[in-house]
Amino acid sequence: MPLTNWKQAFATVALVVICTFSVQQDANAEVSCSATMNDVAFNNIVPWQGSTSTSGSVRVTCSSDFWDWYLGNRKVNACLSIGTGSVSNSWNPRQLGLNGSPTFGLINFQIYDQFGTFVGSPSQPSPILLSNILVPGFGGSSSTVVVPLQFTIPMQSSTSSISSGTYSSNFNGNNAMVTVSPSVSSNSTPSNCSNLTNASGTFPFTVSGTVQPFCQVLTSDPMKFADVAGFGDTQRDAATDIRVQCTNLASYKINLTPSNNSTSGVGALKYVAGGSETVAYSLFQDAGRTIPWGNQTNNNKAGTGNGAVQNQTVYGRVPANLNATPGAYSDSVQVTVTY
């Protein structure tokens, strides 16, 4: 090849190389951010008891692309926005719906950051701001930030509509999104992202909780019979209330067992001063004292919970014509609720 032709070919190759790098520099690729989050679950929710909490976290990863090695380290601000979810129409409170539906029972809950601050979106009241995330510009490098979250179910103000079952709310699309400011050099300050509404990515997750059928005996007052004169005197009647609270629509049965382990509700008051002397008494489900109240399937008392405290009245009777040593007599009765 003549020398002049060789020089021309060399110049042509050099020009191609220079043009290739010039195009990539103009592209000035931005940093991209993505986020992921696992589902959050509450177990064994008791609506009328104190608040219960569980934790979760969002994992945010911001990455450079291959050409960022030429641009150097970059910084961005990232914002995490969490909306109302699929059940609630408001942020305060957010709500879980029975079987994910807003038309049946609802459970209030809330989402906070690790400092106890309400987590919202650009419209109510503000997202979580992750400031100055530094992304190394070395050909596809990335930085990851883990953001702890706290999910809390407070004691519910109304429990009458909360039946047993699974309650949930889905956070998809704009209900769980990450927005990112344009990247800047490492010695600059990124712009605010808290008012951005165009999602750079989403992190869908579900919050759920389980309400099991549950009952508890809250209190029961003593049953006190009036004084008995002794042989020749009439029977004495008394009554007291057992206060029970059960999940809405939960079926339950109350069993009464005197200290003598009677299965039919016929107990024995013991002489307080000591000795073996006793006075018989009986427990009933009705004011007419015709339906015994014991601890068997044919004589215990059935009920259905409504989420509120229910008073179940126990009626007692001491027979007439007692022939017993004067003094005080007492007994204890075990109250058991099965559901």
- Mind listing the pLDDT tens digit of every residue in the chain (339 residues)? 444 443 333 333 333 333 333 333 333 447 889 999 999 999 999 999 989 999 999 999 998 876 655 567 889 999 999 999 999 998 999 999 999 999 989 999 999 999 999 999 877 788 999 999 999 876 678 999 999 999 999 999 999 999 999 999 999 998 999 999 998 888 899 998 888 877 789 999 999 999 999 999 998 889 999 998 877 789 999 999 999 999 999 999 999 999 999 999 999 999 999 989 999 999 999 999 999 999 999 999 999 999 999 999 999 999 998 888 999 999 999 999 999
Question: How far does the chain reach from its first CA to its final CA, in angstroms?
Answer: 100
- Alpha-carbon gap, residue 55 to 45, rounded angstroms: 15
The confidence score (pLDDT) of residue 93 equals 93
Angle value at C-alpha 301, between 308 and 50, nearest 5 degrees: 25
Q: Give the CA dihedral 296, 301, 302, 304, nearest 10 degrees.
A: -150
Among 21, 151, 22, 6, residue whose Cα is nearest residue 82 = 151
What are the residues facing 30 on neighbouring strands?
none
pTM value is: 0.80
The confidence score (pLDDT) of residue 321 equals 86
Q: Are 248 and 105 in contact (CB under 8 A)?
A: yes
Among 215, 238, 232, residue whose Cα is nearest residue 289 = 238
The CA radius of gyration of the chain, in Å to the nearest whole number, is 36
**H-state helical runs in 43-191:** 68-71
- DSSP-derived letter for residue 31 is P
- Alpha-carbon gap, residue 268 to 264, rounded angstroms: 12
The confidence score (pLDDT) of residue 233 equals 86
Angle value at C-alpha 327, between 276 and 333, nearest 5 degrees: 60
The tokens for 135 are: 């992304």
Q: Are 295 and 326 in contact (CB under 8 A)?
A: no
**Contact partners, residue 84, CB within 8 Å, separation at least 6:** 90, 91, 94, 175
The confidence score (pLDDT) of residue 309 equals 96
The confidence score (pLDDT) of residue 232 equals 76
* CA dihedral for 263, 267, 272, 273, sign (positive or negative): negative
- Alpha-carbon gap, residue 236 to 242, rounded angstroms: 20
The confidence score (pLDDT) of residue 28 equals 43
The confidence score (pLDDT) of residue 71 equals 64
- DSSP-derived letter for residue 116 is S
- Alpha-carbon gap, residue 311 to 118, rounded angstroms: 39
Q: Which single residue is written with the structure tokens 């993505």?
A: 34
The confidence score (pLDDT) of residue 21 equals 34
Q: Which single residue is written with the structure tokens 């000035």?
A: 28
**Contact partners, residue 172, CB within 8 Å, separation at least 6:** 86, 202, 204
The confidence score (pLDDT) of residue 175 equals 94
- DSSP-derived letter for residue 124 is B
- DSSP-derived letter for residue 232 is T
Backbone angles phi, psi at 110, to 5 degrees: -145, 160
**H-state helical runs in 147-233:** none
